[in-house]
């Protein structure tokens, strides 16, 4: 079982690190682990968050893993100085891992999916909000 830790990723500039700080480890099945980008803002509701939960599917022959990511878009009122969330960008990734599949095949599937999400074309589709044509 993976151990809870901070997660460091690159910003869009591919040079600057962003740290998602470990906030709460999972206490068991279907209870999410939670991370938050603490340096992003001073108010918790203005920070990007990631949660990841895992549990059995209905027939209990596969593990379902779900990651929920939320990135806020904020604006500061020039009169009051108050910063508020104008919109949120939610992203969800879900995988169902059959328990009869070998570790090698699971590792390959997860690696390829992660690398596809990191690919410039897939990221361009997400950024544009359209599938490639």
> Does residue 1 register a pLDDT over 90?
no
pLDDT tens digits along 12-36 = 999 999 999 999 999 999 999 999 9
Query: Contact, 40 vs 47, CB < 8 A?
Result: yes
Beta bridge partners of residue 18, listed in sequence order: 9
Query: Contact, 33 vs 25, CB < 8 A?
Result: yes
Look up residue 1 and give its two tokens: 């079982």
Could you give the count of Cα atoms lying within 13 Å of 72 in the half-sphere of its Cβ? 19
Query: Contact, 53 vs 44, CB < 8 A?
Result: no
Query: Contact, 62 vs 56, CB < 8 A?
Result: yes
pLDDT tens digits along 80-94 = 999 999 999 999 999
Query: Contact, 64 vs 96, CB < 8 A?
Result: yes
Global pTM value: 0.92
């Amino acid at each position: 079982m993976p151990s809870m830790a901070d997660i460091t990723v690159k910003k869009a500039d591919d040079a600057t690190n962003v740290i998602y700080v470990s906030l709460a480890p999972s206490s068991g099945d279907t209870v999410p682990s939670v991370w938050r980008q603490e340096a992003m803002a001073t108010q918790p509701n203005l920070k990007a968050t990631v949660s990841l939960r895992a549990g059995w599917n209905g027939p209990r022959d596969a593990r379902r893993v779900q990651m929920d990511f939320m990135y806020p878009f904020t604006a500061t009122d020039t009169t009051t100085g108050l910063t508020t969330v104008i919109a949120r960008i939610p992203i969800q990734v879900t995988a169902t891992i059959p328990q009869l599949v070998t570790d090698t095949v699971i590792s390959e599937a997860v690696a390829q999916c992660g690398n596809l999400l990191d690919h410039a074309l897939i990221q361009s589709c997400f950024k544009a909000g359209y599938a490639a044509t």
